[in-house]
Amino acid sequence: MYEVELKVRADHEPVRERLAELDAEPQGIVEQVDTYYDHPVRDFAETDEALRIRRETYEDESTARVTYKGPLVEEASKTREEWETGVDDGETMASILDELGFAPAATVEKIRERFSCDGYTVTLDNVAGLGEYVEVETEAEEESIDSAREGAIRLLQDLGLDADEQVRTSYLGLLLDESA
């Protein structure tokens, strides 16, 4: 499966009103703390990969997941291959990565408010140090990436947003740019 996503910088309040008009279904609010790792020998900035441990808090329950993101396979929609699994103990997973030579590179903290709408997930992200963003996302098989992307563009328009203003840089990249 491939992740198809479009992200724009946008104030949340007008988008939240449009979501209500579209009968989008609220999926709750989560807090995410993401730690990104450097590979012991590969330069992930060069290879366009990422390894992440995500600690998530949802309704007072904390969970952790480890995720690998491969290089872009489709530039326009930021589509990449992704492997992710839950882990029982995020701290232990961090220790294992540390022992294997992976070093924490950066941390991204955000509060995400999710809505389900027409087969897409719309996420209102409030990112520490960056501000408010809106993301439209779905999963697609390789052969339906194009139609999934077209649907995402239409949904962004319905929300009063413009896909031409897409921010292709990840929050991690934006934060690294800010600090550079």
What is the distance, to the nearest Å, from the Cα of residue 156 to the centroid of all Cα atoms in its chain?
Answer: 16
Query: Segment contacting a second copy (CB under 8 A): 24-32, 94-102, 113-121, 144-152?
Result: 94-102
Q: Under the criterion CB under 8 A, does residue 96 sit at the interface with a second copy? A: yes
Name the burial class of residue 67, with classes exposed (0-12), middle (13-18) and buried (19+) by CB atoms within 10 angstroms of its CB: middle
3-state secondary structure of 45: helix
In the region spanning residues 15 to 44, those forming contacts with a second copy, defined by CB under 8 A, are 39-42
Q: Under the criterion CB under 8 A, does residue 88 sit at the interface with a second copy? A: yes
Query: Please, what is the minimum distance in Å from the beta carbon of residue 40 to a second copy?
Result: 6
Q: Annotated catalytic sites, by residue?
A: 36
In the region spanning residues 111 to 170, those forming contacts with a second copy, defined by CB under 8 A, are none
* CA angle at 66 for the pair 104 and 97, rounded to the nearest 5°: 45
**In the block, residue with structure tokens 């910088």:** 9
Query: By the criterion CB under 8 A, which residues form the site for a second copy?
Result: 39-42, 49, 51, 66-68, 70, 83-89, 92-93, 95-96, 99-101
